[in-house]
Structure 1
């Protein structure tokens, strides 16, 4: 797992990236002072690695694959985990920028929080096999902790210990509300209810071209609507229909990759009655139209 500065004409002779910590299953980076005008780094991480990025100043573009881009605005973070494929990506920005990123292995993340008998619920069991792409605002406590990495001056060895303490502080602040959310939904600890939520997911995927309503789905699996919606969000990290939409669009991309169906046919196959609505949704998710995606292959 690594980030590599890219040497381009816009770059200064100095690195735009500073490696703060490098150890087994854990790396911490920050933008260097020289990146206040421009920076561009390439990266790759293995499937067992969780990625965090925090934008303290400026805006950043995170690109992975040939067609996908995400914008990280000041005051927001990315939290990525892809257990299916190694991730190769670019991060670049222009203007005044300040950011912190770190990679941590699933094993190390679990070891920081929990004893040997338990695991973080959203990164264990069936959830460990699901991709996580989370973007949200971070709070003032996290901002203060990360800004200190730029302002504190001390000897290298002492600063390394200081940095690790600050990143652990950020992790504790980041995950504290998630633990609370799980506790606020005690029905998720009931295996019977978990089974019903998983069954609801299976029904949605099997009938994605004509999915049932929330009311019909909750009745079919035997759980009330509130618990279905709340539980689904806790288990799969998305709303019922948000999860379904992501799945449908990923499936549509797979169909386009096979090059056996036209765009309209793919739209109808995944349940769109109006292909233009499919095209808009596809472009919103992948930043490219289905037609241009096919042409780029």
Structure 2
């Protein structure tokens, strides 16, 4: 794997960072420090890598505006956390993406080719993960096997610009300060990198969203029968097992299908039926105890608590308002 960083030809910077395949090495951890000078300033890079992953800490001391280009000749997942400064990047068909201090983004691509405009001193913390490393994590996931990452010709912004949270800052700090013996540090760093990855995936564009499947006509008829049973028996309702047997639905289809079709759980719908019936009976002049018994509450106090929670009004106040 090779990463090349260059600036415009007249600015005379050409830094080539060469790595073994998949960032593998003879040691448990490999470290390197690089420094390049150009007319616009200095570029400092501290690198730390092990099989499948590389951590970069880059400082660009720019005394005047400059443009840098970064290329990688292998598929990779790149996370960029901007600690100081401001960067305007272009990648593929995405241009003029501004990353400000305190923000991060990440992308997956088959061949990395980024152009970055920099106007001031900038500090970037980056993590590069190889395709094999990512595939190992997602090997049974539709995201990799038949999703966007399966298409190597695509460049995908996994996470658009997001704020670097305190939790992310803490992990970056822990990575920077890690000082255990190499065989322990290597395990520790991989764990921290996986933490960074999992936190950013919570809000990423790749996070699978399960789309509810509409009930079949046959199942819909059975769910309608369950709804009618609930409406006809609000005082002495059937149990879930009884509803499942009477409707011919299994427990999973009953609970999941009812929620998706009617917007309530089975017993959430029952509770709403009871409250609506109770409100109507109270307005007709029945006492609180009579209403509680009619809608299936053995204890009037429990009924009062449930009614007040639903309507923000005690049952005894309903008649007073009318």
Q: What interval of TM-score do these two structures reach, taking the shorter chain for normalisation?
A: 0.3 to 0.5
Higher helix share: 1
TM-score (norm 2): 0.45
Larger RCO: 1 or 2 (CA < 8 Å, sep 6+)? 1
TM-score (norm 1): 0.48
